[in-house]
Amino acid sequence: MKVLVPVKRVIDAYVKVRVKADGSGVETQNVKMSMNPFCEIAVEEAVRMKEAGAASEIVAVSCGPQAAQETIRTALAMGADRGILVQSDEALEPLGIAKLLKALVEKEGPEIVLLGKQAVDSDHNQTGQMLAALLGWSQGTFASKIEPADGKLKVTREIDGGLETLEIKLPAVVTADLRLNEPRYASLPNIMKAKKKPIETVTPADLGVEVAPRVKTLKVGEPPVREAGVKVGSVAELVDKLKNEAKVL
């Protein structure tokens, strides 16, 4: 069983994001970049499936600039077998990425597409659902547990009221939630081996997909700075401020 794992290159989750001076976006020059944390979880789960004998090949895919090869190499060091870079300098949106992945699925023929539920930079949480709709495949979103068995997947997913367990037919699209697993650190020998694993580079044009942006960003700004709090001397003063200043009473 082949597993396709899309991975995204984002600003490192522990780096403070800065807005560009002209308000056109966020600053990415000389900023540490890394794999999206939810994508790491998806790669880890695919590797565990292969180690358990449920998967035969793991293909890591990234859509973005040439530098996204670094993210694919990280996935290869974690245990993926080969990589595909869909190189594009356009600002890719969820629908465009879903169309690119659909074209790759038709080319590669995987039985499972396993991806993170969302990216920590855009927080769209749309690509997996759009891809399943375009393919007409089963889908299991926000997965906290995945159990392959007899051509099906049992997916435990996190919902507002607790947990929901689905049994879905293959082929399927599954999006990984935070509690699915704890991603491993790539060992030095695996990092060295990853340098020799193949990465194929294609373009949206090669796949016959149009990825022109449909949304225009007008302005990006910092959130307003919170004002300092004040201490009150009595309950009566607190109630007065809540009523007359904060106007929440």
Q: Any idea what the CATH number is for the domain that residue 13 is in?
A: 3.40.50.620
Q: What is the sign, positive or negative, of the torsion defined by CA atoms of 198, 42, 7, 190? A: negative
The reported pLDDT for the residue numbered 228 is: 84
Which of 112, 117, 74, 119 lies closest to 92 in space, CA to CA? 119
The reported pLDDT for the residue numbered 74 is: 96
List the Cα angle 212/86/142 in 5-degree steps: 85
Residue 39, domain member (yes or no): yes
Task: Give the separation between CA 246 and CA 108, rounded to whole angstroms.
Answer: 58
Number of structural domains found in the chain: 1
Which of 106, 167, 99, 122 lies closest to 8 in space, CA to CA? 122
The reported pLDDT for the residue numbered 154 is: 95
Residue 222, domain member (yes or no): yes
At residue 1, what is the residue type?
Answer: M
Count CB atoms within 10 A of the CB of residue 210. 8
The reported pLDDT for the residue numbered 229 is: 84
Residue 168, domain member (yes or no): yes
Retrieve residue 38's tokens. Answer: 């939810």
Residue 249, domain member (yes or no): no
Helices (H) and strands (E) in the chain, counts: 7, 11
Task: Give the separation between CA 1 and CA 139, rounded to whole angstroms.
Answer: 17
User: Global pTM?
Assistant: 0.88
Residue 145 near residue 112, CB atoms below 8 Å = no
Expressed in angstroms, the distance from the first to the final Cα of the chain is: 60
Domain that holds residue 40: 2-244
Retrieve residue 168's tokens. Answer: 């879905």
pLDDT tens digits in sequence order for the chain, 249 residues long: 999 999 999 999 899 999 998 988 889 888 999 999 999 999 999 999 999 999 999 999 999 999 999 999 999 999 999 999 999 998 899 999 999 999 999 999 999 999 999 999 989 999 999 999 999 999 999 999 999 988 899 999 988 889 999 999 999 999 999 999 999 999 999 999 999 999 999 999 999 999 988 888 899 998 888 888 889 999 999 999 899 988 888
Helix H or strand E segment including 203? none
Residue 75, domain member (yes or no): yes
Residue 8, domain member (yes or no): yes
Residue 76, domain member (yes or no): yes
The reported pLDDT for the residue numbered 31 is: 92
In angstroms, what is the C-alpha Rg of the chain? 21
